[in-house]
Structure 1
Amino acid sequence: MRQYVDTGLVALDLANTWDEYLDDPERLPDPAALRRFCEEFGEPLGWTPGQRVGGDPGERAGKEPGELAGGEPGGQANFWESELVAVREMRGRLRGVLACEPAERTRALAGFAAGLSARAEVEDVDGVPVLRLVAPDGAGPVDRLAVRAVRELLDVAAAGDWVRLRLCAASPCRDAFIDRSRPGLRQFCSTRCANRAHAAASRARHRT
């Protein structure tokens, strides 16, 4: 049973691993949860002996061989602990992008993407060349997930759904979703949140 795949987009489903509606909002509580997230989205786990850990991509790239975690006892555990911290920090920045209004969101996404280590690659899609952003070879989970999130958001924009990308209006939920309804007026991420918001509005009306 899948725990994290909902929209099928890393950009949204990663952002939604912080859920204010829950008593404990953190849905990535430990490295095992991050590994599960990567597996559900088909992302390679990305750890090999000698894997660099710690800091942002530039920091990791600048580490000396003596600072590699994989050669030490518990290197894999250290790697996943470090990646979990980095993924949570990246998730916060991603949620900041999604929270912007569409016109501001473009600038916010540009700022988010500017800090990534990525390369452009031409892929064949049904016989048509398509330019895609991909993470460098050997990149860890935080880098691959961040690059994939940007790629997906660019695809969302290209499909004409940029203005339909929203955060749920049912406080305290702030889950991200794409409004696929024909009128484009959807405000809530789910029926659960819609029902909760309508019930709260009804109670408020009866109090006045």
Structure 2
Amino acid sequence: MSRESRKFHVPDALANLYDFANTLDLRHFIHHGVQHKQADELQDPAALGEWMHQHGLIQRAVAPSQKTFEAALRLRAAIRDYLKCEPAERHLKQAVTTPLNAAMEPLALSVAAIGKDGFALRPVTSDSQAGLSAIVAELYDAASAGTLARLKMCAADECRRVFFDRSKPGTRRWCQSTLCGNREKTRTYRERHRDDPASGI
């Protein structure tokens, strides 16, 4: 788990998937007068190898091939597009599921018996692609357990951070209600009263 996933109490079973989706940071809002800088943790194959090693997905921080690096970027983009959709609509949108299926296809997994817990999906290979396969396994396990529906993308256009919805009804739309939620509500309020002379706005 990363410091970020611990901070927001993301379940261990979803931590790598959560962190992987958030290696692309598209936030561009101003908070306390400071402009948030966009960033990408996966700038090149070496950065991907280091990221997977730090997350325990591969044994050594070896830079993967350019082909594997490009596969990682496709997988990340497809996962983010999938999580951007409302949970109840995800499997219905072919424009989202088709690229995701294509991105997952080269990442081989096998079923392994793991003792008292029964069975689990495990990467077939031991190379750098195994790290990506492990992320796909988390995606599958979360869908099977019913927890994937709580992994969402913040509805704020200037954020788009993936978050884990810990609310009891599972209906949160923003990663943090006190930040993105408040900005959205304030914006909506101002737009609603913009043309109302009595509002004073």
TM over 0.5: yes
Write 1 or 2 for the structure with the bigger share of helix.
2
Alpha carbons of structure 1 residues 161 and 30: separation in structure 2 relative to 1, 3 Å: closer
1:15 aligns with 2:6: no
* SS of residue paired to 1:55: helix
Offset, 1:169: 0.8
Aligned partner of 2:33 in structure 1 is none
Aligned partner of 1:189 in structure 2 is 175
Alpha carbons of structure 1 residues 177 and 38: separation in structure 2 relative to 1, 3 Å: same
- 2: CA distance, partners of 1:20 / 1:168: 11
Offset, 1:188: 0.7
Aligned partner of 1:120 in structure 2 is 111
* SS of residue paired to 1:186: coil
1:5–1:40 Cα contact (<8 Å) kept:
no
1:201 aligns with 2:188: yes
* SS of residue paired to 2:38: coil
Number of residue equivalences: 173
2:112–2:120 Cα contact (<8 Å) kept:
yes
Offset, 1:135: 4.5
* SS of residue paired to 1:120: strand
* SS of residue paired to 2:121: strand
* SS of residue paired to 1:177: strand
Aligned partner of 2:57 in structure 1 is 43
Offset, 1:160: 1.8
1:156–1:162 Cα contact (<8 Å) kept:
yes
2:110–2:124 Cα contact (<8 Å) kept:
yes
Mark the runs of 5 or more structure 1 residues left unpaired by the alignment: 57-82
- Percent identity, aligned pairs only, is 27
* TM-score, normalising length: structure 2: 0.68
- 2: CA distance, partners of 1:4 / 1:41: 12
- 2: CA distance, partners of 1:122 / 1:107: 29
Offset, 1:29: 5.7
* SS of residue paired to 1:12: helix
Mark the runs of 5 or more structure 2 residues left unpaired by the alignment: 29-35, 196-201
* TM-score, normalising length: structure 1: 0.66
**Residue pairs, 1:50-65, within 5 angstroms:** 53-56=65-68
Aligned partner of 1:76 in structure 2 is none
- 2: CA distance, partners of 1:202 / 1:112: 40
What is the Cα-based RMSD across aligned positions, in Å? 3.1
1:25 aligns with 2:38: yes
